[in-house]
Amino acid sequence: MKVFHVSIISKKTLSANHNRLDKWLWHARFFRTRGLAQQLCKKQIIRVNGVRVIKANTTIKKDDILTFPKGNKIIVIKIIEIPKTRLSAKNSISLFEEVKL
């Protein structure tokens, strides 16, 4: 009989490196509520690394490029950090950098 060893990754480890797209957009204060971020994802307007997102639970990680409309602008940003909680408006700027086209 063969024995397989399965590595179990805790949620804490996963959240340190990855996060849901809707949650990250809310943490970074691009949207007032997580529900608004989810609605935008469902409309398939957001792109992650050039690929159109279909679901709000899309996993994102550091160095991913996000593209989405905000008001009458198109926002293109690179993810710098994945926070565990929502940051203040002042500190949320450290989570991303704007990509100039």
- Rounded (5°) CA angle 71-74-78: 120
Owning domain of residue 17:
12-98
Decide if 6 is inside a domain: no
Report the predicted TM-score, pTM, of the whole model to 2 decimal places. Answer: 0.79
**Spatial separation of the C-alpha atoms in residues 21 and 39, rounded to whole Å:** 12
Say which DSSP state 65 is in. E
Decide if 3 is inside a domain: no
Q: Is the pLDDT of residue 13 over 50?
A: no
Q: How many domains does the chain have?
A: 1
Decide if 17 is inside a domain: yes
Decide if 20 is inside a domain: yes
Decide if 2 is inside a domain: no
The whole-number pLDDT of residue 5 equals 38
Tokens linked to 63: 């160095």
- What pLDDT digit, counting tens, does each position of 47-57 carry? 999 999 999 99
Decide if 86 is inside a domain: yes
Q: What share of the chain is helix, strand, coil (3-state, %, to 5)?
A: 30, 25, 45
State the distance between the two ends of the chain, measured CA to CA, in whole angstroms. Answer: 57
Decide if 5 is inside a domain: no
Share of the chain above pLDDT 70, in %: 84
Q: Distance between alpha carbon 60 and the CA centroid of its chain, in Å?
A: 5
